[in-house]
Structure 1
């Protein structure tokens, strides 16, 4: 549907009454709810609040929406009290939402690391200063007040709209029962994870975005890593989902290297990880919450900084040693050269809350901050839905 037609249909639907009890979750990141949105939804269900929930989910942003899907979007955008997104959602940005509608951004990343959004105006892949992207958010969540200014700049919104609730999906790191359950599940499925220490290599992609994302696999010296570390470690790869080229592990090194890129949740893998090796990935924030030692294998840091840039000077930001080649990486692993003190400083700066209650704060401060009545039921589980209506539309 043409943008002008979509906006016209949306304007017509605005003539209908606003439904104060309707919450709409929209995403082009998957056809099931996950991440921050799932944690917030589960918390809403746990409390048995009197809302109606709609899910307008699509597998990825490259799938075209049908005319019917556009009409559904226009209708729900025009009549919902709260609209929740967890990433870029381009179709909503040109719309003039009702004054009483909240557009809440539960951004998937933690902390502030690589520059994004309007912080990148004038840089490769950055937006035009005239763009409308992100600017109509009424609320956005962050992990701490110290990074609120970066999100306000990146989204092009005022800082009073940025709320330091903490990041809902990090609640699992403070749930001992969840951690033990995940460990058992992983050990049962992958017994080799129990026999040796686990190195998790989780680098970010290279390129301007999803369309041309890649990774320089040639930088991985399989033979050196295998010969030096195989006795005590297994080495897991978790490549960024934007990188479509599959990692090819030579047969002679199987039993040491394992490709876990298809495993859906990197956070689960952290529970069985002894050392995280990354570069510019935000996984360092999650690893820090679990106090996992980290190495930053940033072989192209100068070039990456020129093209992408950071909110902080890279060398002073990272909570672990910088290594630029395979020899330095191996020596740091064997020698146990980790800067543990910097992890605590890192957590204290980037997290205002380390209590596993971020989902609760999002509901209290953002959802119920609209004046909705609370009807929390102590001990209710996420499967109890008294007083709710669940309408899932996955495209």
Structure 2
């Protein structure tokens, strides 16, 4: 039954796409995202760069989370129109219309993905795991099919991405996400820090520890206890503890000292003096900011069974990896962190271009693919 329904949807999409193909194709790039209801930083940087360097082209950003299937269905019709009438398609996540129409879309489709670097197994390498999709669902939805190119932050991840997307490694292109340009820009970082502290003056009075846990599909049984242990270990005369959750996570710590209620547009990494994470790729962003990073793996025995990682965090990431919140706070207080080793780890996994910007590398690759058609 489900297969017949998906096939019917695919046929309707194909007919709609072919109808829209009768419209003139414009000098335009369309960007699709389910990560947010607002244009992401990466797409906004791409739009700005295209305006400066290719003024005869426009960039349309279609960002919408899948909150309501019916409303999203109408959104997909809009996606089909812009795919059919644009010169290229950029994605930062799985897009239903692109994969279901794989083989029919006749312009370059570039999968940029939304995570900097990689840690967790995803896509086809996570099928049938407790944190991944079912194989039958991936097959029905033609998951991650139809890509012309897949961007990657470093060639060190080629094998991981080839398996995760189930693609030929030859279509993988080394180009870190555009937002890397902001993370390595000292002037921008200072501006963002000043902006946040103007809004929240208390964050300028102490050192800031930013806690960035990864998103878990199912809340761990010991999450509340572990979060409370971390909050209780902090000396609030010296430090602020700021919680920076994944957009889909609703973690809240029951402690009045914890700073966790603020608008999502404020990226608290820019006021961080220390970062605590676990299995999140935020560790690469923190590394580009040259911040000390510590890994609070309170649910590692359970998580490692549900969701395998491509790397061994205990062995491959040169920092403290522990389920002991007090040990992390002691490391912070004694500045027990090897900056040189961690920066070497970041350089291996995020290949910042020697010349030009990350945004330029992405955009010029898109235009190379357009020209090759």
Q: Could you say which structure has the higher helix fraction?
A: 2
The alpha carbon displacement at 1:66 in A equals: 6.4
Cα distance change on mapping 1:117 and 1:335 into 2, 3 Å:
same
Question: Which residue matches 2:197?
Answer: 187
The alpha carbon displacement at 1:10 in A equals: 3.2
Does the CA contact (< 8 Å) of 2:212 and 2:277 recur in 1? yes
SS where residue 259 of structure 1 aligns?
coil
Q: In structure 2, how many angstroms separate the alpha carbons of the residues matched to 1:102 and 1:227?
A: 51
The alpha carbon displacement at 1:58 in A equals: 2.0
Question: Which residue matches 2:31?
Answer: 25
Aligned counterpart in structure 1 of residue 19 of structure 2, from 13, 23, 26: 13
Question: Which residue matches 2:164?
Answer: 154
The alpha carbon displacement at 1:368 in A equals: 3.7
Question: Which residue matches 1:376?
Answer: none
Q: In structure 2, how many angstroms separate the alpha carbons of the residues matched to 1:82 and 1:332?
A: 48
SS where residue 60 of structure 2 aligns?
strand
Question: Which residue matches 1:221?
Answer: 228
The alpha carbon displacement at 1:176 in A equals: 2.3
With a CA cutoff of 8 Å and minimum separation of 6, indicate the structure with the bigger relative contact order.
1
The alpha carbon displacement at 1:226 in A equals: 4.7
Comparing 72-81 and 287-296, the one that deviates more: 72-81
Does the CA contact (< 8 Å) of 1:241 and 1:261 recur in 2? no
In the alignment, structure 1 residue 336 sits paired with structure 2 residue 346: no
Query: 1:272-287 residue pairs with structure 2 within 5 A?
Result: 272-287=271-286
Cα distance change on mapping 1:127 and 1:81 into 2, 3 Å:
farther
The alpha carbon displacement at 1:365 in A equals: 1.8
Aligned counterpart in structure 1 of residue 179 of structure 2, from 147, 152, 169: 169
In the alignment, structure 1 residue 92 sits paired with structure 2 residue 98: yes
Q: TM-score, normalised on structure 2? A: 0.87
Q: In structure 2, how many angstroms separate the alpha carbons of the residues matched to 1:235 and 1:45?
A: 39
SS where residue 305 of structure 1 aligns?
helix
The alpha carbon displacement at 1:33 in A equals: 1.2
The alpha carbon displacement at 1:63 in A equals: 4.8
Query: 1:44-55 residue pairs with structure 2 within 5 A?
Result: 44-55=50-61
Q: In structure 1, how many angstroms separate the alpha carbons of the residues matched to 2:161 and 2:250?
A: 29
SS where residue 92 of structure 1 aligns?
helix
SS where residue 32 of structure 1 aligns?
coil
SS where residue 130 of structure 1 aligns?
helix
Does the CA contact (< 8 Å) of 1:13 and 1:79 recur in 2? no
Aligned counterpart in structure 1 of residue 64 of structure 2, from 33, 58, 69: 58
Does the CA contact (< 8 Å) of 2:121 and 2:307 recur in 1? yes
Aligned counterpart in structure 2 of residue 249 of structure 1, from 249, 254, 267: 254
Question: Which residue matches 2:287?
Answer: 288
SS where residue 187 of structure 2 aligns?
helix
Question: Which residue matches 2:362?
Answer: 362
Aligned counterpart in structure 2 of residue 144 of structure 1, from 140, 149, 154: 154
The alpha carbon displacement at 1:160 in A equals: 1.5
Does the CA contact (< 8 Å) of 1:213 and 1:243 recur in 2? no
In the alignment, structure 1 residue 113 sits paired with structure 2 residue 119: yes
Query: 1:261-340 residue pairs with structure 2 within 5 A?
Result: 262-266=263-267, 269-340=268-339
**Which digits, 9 at most, give the CA deviation of each residue in 1:323-354, with x for residues without a partner?**
21222123222222223232122112102216
The alpha carbon displacement at 1:59 in A equals: 4.1
Cα distance change on mapping 1:10 and 1:153 into 2, 3 Å:
farther
Q: In structure 2, how many angstroms separate the alpha carbons of the residues matched to 1:71 and 1:169?
A: 29
Question: Which residue matches 1:233?
Answer: 239
Does the CA contact (< 8 Å) of 2:30 and 2:89 recur in 1? yes
The alpha carbon displacement at 1:214 in A equals: 9.3
Q: In structure 2, how many angstroms separate the alpha carbons of the residues matched to 1:280 and 1:171?
A: 23
The alpha carbon displacement at 1:4 in A equals: 4.0
Q: In structure 1, how many angstroms separate the alpha carbons of the residues matched to 2:290 and 2:148?
A: 34
CA root-mean-square deviation: 2.7
Does the CA contact (< 8 Å) of 2:233 and 2:325 recur in 1? no
Q: TM-score, normalised on structure 1? A: 0.82
The alpha carbon displacement at 1:186 in A equals: 1.1
Does the CA contact (< 8 Å) of 2:108 and 2:369 recur in 1? no
Cα distance change on mapping 1:206 and 1:77 into 2, 3 Å:
same
Q: In structure 2, how many angstroms separate the alpha carbons of the residues matched to 1:48 and 1:285?
A: 30
The alpha carbon displacement at 1:99 in A equals: 6.3
The alpha carbon displacement at 1:48 in A equals: 3.8
Q: In structure 2, how many angstroms separate the alpha carbons of the residues matched to 1:96 and 1:333?
A: 49
SS where residue 264 of structure 1 aligns?
coil
Question: Which residue matches 1:130?
Answer: 139
Gap regions ≥5 residues in structure 1: 373-395
